[in-house]
Structure 1
Amino acid sequence: MGFLPSLVKFSVGEWLVVLALLFLLLYIVYYGRQVIISKGTRRIEVYRGVMGIVLMGSMIYFCFTVLSGLNYHRDSFLSDTEYHEEKYSVEELAALCQSLADDLGPVRAELGEDTDLLVQAPDDFDYYAQHAVLSLKMLSKQYPVLERSLYSTPKPVVMSKLMSRAGIEGIFFPFTLESNINVDMPGFLIPAAMTHELAHQCGFMQEDEAGFISYLACTQQDEPMFLYSGLFLAFDYSISALEKVDPDKALEIKSGLSQQVQYDLVQNEQYWGKYKGIVANISTRVNDVYLKANNQTDGVNSYNKMVNLLLAEQRDKLSRTSLGLSEKN
């Protein structure tokens, strides 16, 4: 299913959605006209129109289930790793945030103190897309469950501003197996968004697992932007979790960040803040219903559960260190 769409650099899925909406509009107009001009058969025309929509919706849902929906019920990614998810303490969470903060500074310095990471050069997307695939391939050597015969390279979305208004960084389109990326958002978020959607492409649909796989993939190579994007993703979710249980400690850790990292945090908040509104709220509610309908009982809060997986990795590293064993990259 993904082979032919992978041969082109534009998002086939994006235009399929546009065509589907146009078809639906024409369909409604056609049957609306039929109901108006039909005198003795109006009920039959209404029945035909409604049943046509039901039939098309059923076929789309069946294809979705076959192509990716079943993966919402697969075994956890942790079952293929050495990590174990357990309850964590506030101290462990604070230690995780501090560790990520310590790593963020040096990596951000490699990108240049005066570099504005909000925008990206025209050629950056293809470069990041190729490295995103490379990151997943490298990670699959450690976790064979991520191996694929085809990794469809992430695609830029033309209507990215609309995605921003909806608060969306990326979308995995199951009917073409494409990873669609919002190219209007801050550039330092794009590598992590790419690997997140590629994780879905590998069959891991749970949002917390896709986020964790994204973090692991971004930290597989020494490319500074990928390292920074993965660490920024992990820190953003972790510090948000710490702010809920120990706001003073969270403020202390954030205050210790380098000026460049603090600037990026502000830029990120300002960017998404300007798009808050009715569209973003509706999008969040729709996504929440969608996730709950697909075996993610926490809905949009599933993204935040990535912190549990980060803490599981941290515990594993600490246990290996205490035993004097070498850590895996």
Structure 2
Amino acid sequence: MSKKLKLLSLLLFPLSILINTISSRYPYFIEKYYSISINKFIVAILSNISGIFPFSLYELTIYLIVISIVSFIIYTIYIIISNPNKLKVFIKNSLLNILSIISIAYFLFIILWGLNYNRIPLETTLIESYNLKYNKSISSIDKTKESLANLYEFLIENANEARKLVKSSDGVMKANTDYKGIINRAYLGYESILDFLPNLSGNYSNAKYVMSSKLMCYTGITGIYFPFTGEANVNIAIPDIYIPSTTLHEMAHQRGYASEDEANFIAYLASINHPDIDFKYSGYILALNHTANALYSVDYDTYVTLSKNISEDVLDDLKNNRDFWDKYEGKIDDISNEINNNYLKANGVSEGVKSYGKMVDLLLTYYSLYPYKN
């Protein structure tokens, strides 16, 4: 690429910000013409092309970035030692190249997927769909401590019952199949809720497993969606209890739901409606943890009382998960969390990682509209 084109490419960054800012003011337009039309078409093409490859193109991209950074550092040192007079020109050209790449990448991110952050909130969609179906005029749902306690009690009961039916190994939950089987079975969860959320339909490739998943654990990341290839990537080194719901979570991103809380809620619905018990249990555990954290912060006494009803087997699974992540806590996880926090804020999620707690609001809204069924 010529220097002129590189300079012109820098204009893509402010253009991307402008497009994102304007689109944030028209969520219904983005929902109708981007999220459930243009973007579905784009992601379907990208995911099916990347699906041809048995490995994750996202993971390959990360390797190439790391190699490029190391090569750049080595070559910079070489310039400093062998020809320091060229250092200024080299740094100037390199800076232009880096900014050009960032500008192009951000523009592609916004166009290929990022505008989904500006679509109609899923809670609004749930309420509007309910009103249309039942000729109601509900505008919002009251979320009380009592309804939160009822939700927690419901999830405990269903998690306990599901735990009785799943496989175990050394006292810990085991999935019905290995991680490849989980990935291959995941689509069944989405097929089971298309009547409720038809926007989830589409021709997408399966999720991809990350080969360097153990290394990924040090970042605290369980999965990641890569918008440039349409791939839903899953960390398969984590305990089996979370692989099914994590796979469905990343597939929700693939289907155009950008926010973490909405992807978690969709993963929950797809999990508990999945025909296989390991998915059901994973979904209940996902929601149980989020609801427990919410209730703990607003009504500690009720949280303690209800938590006594959690079965020993479920508690063992939760302890196994905590013990697993204790091995990976450290600076890398802190850095990764801060990067993720800044990423969310940059895309209009003002609460950053704290927004993950909003999944509970979606659960409360859903079960207010559609009463509990065991």
| TM-score greater than 0.5 by the shorter chain | yes
- Structure 1 residue 36, shift from structure 2 partner: 4.6
Corresponding residue for 1:90?
A: 145
- Structure 1 residue 279, shift from structure 2 partner: 1.2
- Structure 1 residue 142, shift from structure 2 partner: 2.3
1:155 aligns with 2:208: yes
Contact 1:11 1:155 in 2 (8 A): yes
Gaps spanning 5+ residues in structure 1: where? Answer: 322-326
- 1:120-139 alignment to 2 at 5 Å? 124-139=178-193
| Change over 3 Å in CA distance of 1:211–1:189 after alignment to 2 | same
Q: Which deviates further from its counterpart, 170-179 or 128-137?
A: 128-137
- Structure 1 residue 224, shift from structure 2 partner: 0.5
1:137-177 Cα offsets, whole Å, 9 max, x none, are: 332232121111x2221111111122221111111111111
- Structure 1 residue 10, shift from structure 2 partner: 2.1
Contact 1:31 1:49 in 2 (8 A): no
1:200-234 Cα offsets, whole Å, 9 max, x none, are: 00010011100000001112223110100001000
Contact 1:10 1:155 in 2 (8 A): yes
> Which amino acid letter does the alignment assign opposite residue 19 of structure 1?
L
- Measured on the aligned residues, the alpha-carbon RMSD in Å equals 2.2
| Change over 3 Å in CA distance of 1:85–1:265 after alignment to 2 | farther
Return the alpha-carbon distance in structure 1 between the equivalents of residues 233 and 319 of structure 2.
25
Return the alpha-carbon distance in structure 2 between the equivalents of residues 175 and 127 of structure 1.
25
> Which amino acid letter does the alignment assign opposite residue 150 of structure 2?
A
- Structure 1 residue 52, shift from structure 2 partner: 1.0
| Change over 3 Å in CA distance of 1:86–1:292 after alignment to 2 | farther
TM-score calculated relative to the size of structure 1:
0.90
3-state secondary structure, aligned to 1:17: helix
Contact 2:123 2:365 in 1 (8 A): no
1:233 aligns with 2:267: no
Alignment equivalent of 1:190, drawn from 226, 237, 243: 243
Alignment equivalent of 2:107, drawn from 43, 51, 62: 62
Return the alpha-carbon distance in structure 1 between the equivalents of residues 78 and 110 of structure 2.
34
Return the alpha-carbon distance in structure 1 between the equivalents of residues 252 and 178 of structure 2.
21
- Structure 1 residue 102, shift from structure 2 partner: 0.9
- Structure 1 residue 294, shift from structure 2 partner: 0.8
Contact 2:163 2:314 in 1 (8 A): yes
1:245 aligns with 2:308: no
3-state secondary structure, aligned to 1:139: coil
| Change over 3 Å in CA distance of 1:162–1:103 after alignment to 2 | same
1:178-200 Cα offsets, whole Å, 9 max, x none, are: 11111111101001000000000
Return the alpha-carbon distance in structure 2 between the equivalents of residues 7 and 115 of structure 1.
37
Contact 2:225 2:231 in 1 (8 A): yes
Q: Which deviates further from its counterpart, 37-46 or 308-317?
A: 37-46
How many correspondences in the alignment?
A: 319
Return the alpha-carbon distance in structure 2 between the equivalents of residues 86 and 24 of structure 1.
50
Return the alpha-carbon distance in structure 2 between the equivalents of residues 274 and 86 of structure 1.
40
Q: Which deviates further from its counterpart, 205-214 or 110-119?
A: 110-119
3-state secondary structure, aligned to 1:141: coil
Corresponding residue for 2:199?
A: 145
Corresponding residue for 1:7?
A: 52
Alignment equivalent of 1:20, drawn from 44, 65, 81: 65
Corresponding residue for 2:20?
A: none
Corresponding residue for 1:296?
A: 349
Corresponding residue for 1:47?
A: 92
> Which amino acid letter does the alignment assign opposite residue 232 of structure 2?
S
Return the alpha-carbon distance in structure 2 between the equivalents of residues 112 and 172 of structure 1.
29
Contact 1:85 1:308 in 2 (8 A): no
Corresponding residue for 1:103?
A: 158
| Change over 3 Å in CA distance of 1:58–1:28 after alignment to 2 | farther
Contact 1:118 1:267 in 2 (8 A): no
Contact 1:94 1:249 in 2 (8 A): yes
Contact 1:196 1:211 in 2 (8 A): yes
- 1:114-125 alignment to 2 at 5 Å? 116-117=171-172, 124-125=178-179
Return the alpha-carbon distance in structure 2 between the equivalents of residues 55 and 262 of structure 1.
50
Gaps spanning 5+ residues in structure 2: where? Answer: 1-45, 131-138
Identity percentage over the alignment? 33
Return the alpha-carbon distance in structure 1 between the equivalents of residues 175 and 366 of structure 2.
31
3-state secondary structure, aligned to 2:232: strand
TM-score calculated relative to the size of structure 2:
0.80
Return the alpha-carbon distance in structure 2 between the equivalents of residues 78 and 283 of structure 1.
29
